[in-house]
Structure 1
Amino acid sequence: MSAGEGFRLADAVADVYGDLRLEPVLRRLLRHTARLTGAAAGSVSLIDAAAGRYTKAAEYGAFCRLGDTFPLDEGATGRAFGRRRPVVIPEYGQLRAGHLDGADPKRRGPAAAVPIWWRGEVIAVCVTFAPRTGTFGAQAVDDLETLTQTAAAAIVRGGRFGRSLASVLRRAGTVVTEAGEVRPVAPEVARVAAGLVADAGERLRVGIVYRPDGVRVMMRDETGGSAWAAAPPTITGGEVTVERVRGWGVVLRADIPYASPAPFTAREAEVLELMRQGLTYREIASRLGRSPKTVEKHVGAIMRKTGASNRTAAVVTAMDNGWLGDSPHTAFG
């Protein structure tokens, strides 16, 4: 089948939205970009504009340093983000700070990088390598932009659910099993669990139990030499126990809440919810019966507490941490 033959945008969009967890969304998007263009490989990177970086979140057909984080001025992603429009790179290998392996033949072919927008900001960039036609014409780039942009809401919604904790820990080479209804977790939960794994020995087994109010992570270090025994870790809002079990090694049990307590006042929480709905300062003021100046002060406090540089980033941070009332992290708990 030639590039684009038999491709139906409506079918592709329905498939992308069929599972609103972030990883399936990105995998499906890449599968359809390959069908659309006949491309040999592709990747999607998630943008953190406030931090000036992006992370390779999904890929196919190439080893493009999946999971690594880069400055926003690097690679095809950096070029598309900087120009705020789709870009075509005639020969990827000539790009400064590209991330394909030096021996990869796709470096000698073209690449197209397409920004994905949400509420006026670039939230991701999809890069497609080496189409079968050998070039990216204007129509191919337009079709790519149409397809990738339809996934914007799915990426935002999928990002709210976070990554699978098991997938994060398995990247470290550990053996992981799960029990209960598997639930995506907030980024902070994943960071805490990954830190516990990093402190362990080489022979580590991990069990994850999803409970109503949080996740229980059980780790067994068969070498008995982990740092847990010498200095048991602590978790904000959670509990950790460590014991030596004869014949088993060191066993750690960590109960981690799905979300940390929200840092906002009641009024700030109201303002944040209306920000999530996309209301302007004046609309929020009208809804709450307050002046726009008062609303601006509340928004300023929200920005400081989330560490965000703009309203969209503040809302996304609150979602990631389960601080919004209908956030999946708190709803699951």
Structure 2
Amino acid sequence: MAEPGRRERSPDTLTALAQALAGEFRLQPLLERILRSAVELLRSASGSLCLVDEQSHTYHKEIDLDAGCETGRPLSLDEGMTGLVVRTGGPVILEQYAQVPRGHLDPSEPRYRRGVIGVPITLGEQVIGALIVFAGEGQRYGADDARLLDEFAGHAAIAIANSRMHAVAQERTRQAAVAAERERSMQAAHDTFGRGLATAMLRLRAAQRSAPAGSPVAADIAAAQTAVEDSLREGRRAVWGAGGDGMATVRTLDEAIRVELDWVAATANLSTALRVFGDRGELAPEVSVQLIRIVQEALTNVAQHARASSVRVGLVFGTEGVAVIVEDDGVGFDLDAVHDRRQGMGLSGLVARATQVGGRVQLEATPGWGTRIRADLPYRPNTGDQAGITRWRVLILHGQPAMRAGLVHLLDASEPGVQVVAEVDELVSAVEAVQLLQPDVVLASTAVSCPSGNPVVTSLRTVLPDVAVIGILDGATPEADLLAWAAAGALGFVPADVDATALGRAVAAAL
């Protein structure tokens, strides 16, 4: 029979004890809290909590309060109070523990002759554990106690399930972080060694020109050059095949977009909104990065050019990929007559970023009626290349080692879709590197001299007509020289103190 007054206090006590479980996600502290709460609920001081593995027909005693038997080793479900509870499939009340088939308490133990109650901890149709509480001196348990403990066990099951899911999520995050760091390290090592090998190839070519034709030295140089080229090619293949499946980010996709919206709201005094639709799919890291860059670029255009009062971003998750839509109520523009080079640069960059991962961009704009940009991207790169995306290949031409290193760092930090294939300090080496490495973009200092007197751009595009050249403004370059660069095909210029974002924008736009 229950103690007097217990039923009047039990609902409030049960609610408070159940709420206390919600804040603990570490499994062992949670299990201890569950057992202490169950013992408190039934006004006892002794009990145990076991986790059950029905598939292996065993259970494991995790927590003991003054029970002191068989803790820490697997036991068969054919024995003990937990085994009886699982076999019964519901609450079990015994007047004495001595009635437990194949029990574990020694007959000399005081609890051996006391009452005991046990209930299963059930999640769905599966028994995942059992709560066992021993009666105190002169205490007996009844049906009300069984119902109360059984109800509490339901709350405990939810808390245990949440703890397990939290542990799984933490482990996945840890594994993703390790994989992302491993991939980043391998990529950085590949790029560093790749640039070193490219430099070695250029030096070997120069040595080959100086060596007498047909001499043993020339043959050795040619063999060394072939070996370096093979090493560069095999290194690239190795890194392509070692890519990770995930990337741990500080922010979720939604959070990252909200940060960008907060920026544009503060910068341009706009009202903003983010809407997410559909069942979320998992984006490959390179797709996620380019999606964020596309949103950044679109919002930058809104802040700088749209003169809008509001901007909305929508994320639409579909079966094959995700669409991101950026829509403003600004002044719009004529798509056929984009005269602002900065705005044109931004829009070109959007297309390049989407195309790199196998996506596409749609742009709707009407003067006076705002602008709507939609980018459709696959969940994983869809480029027709089993190795994934083809990274944009960039060559740096600059006379100062510190500037070359700085540009490499800026691109490595901000643009994972970019690979710096070589750094050179003078035009002859740059021409050979362009011919050998076939870069997509050359970042070239305007201070580099050209022996022929022609613009540097002309020499580079002579060996690779489609290469995009961006000038780095060094010193007081005469305006006539800049005009000559532009006339020869330079796609734009960036200042020597360019930041990572602007440099990335310029490379993407050039492509």
TM-score of Structure 1 vs Structure 2, range by shorter chain: 0.3 to 0.5
If the length of structure 2 is used for normalisation, what is the TM-score?
A: 0.32
Point out the structure with max Rg over C-alpha.
2
If the length of structure 1 is used for normalisation, what is the TM-score?
A: 0.47
Instruction: For CA contacts below 8 A with separation 6 or more, give which structure has more relative contact order.
Output: 1
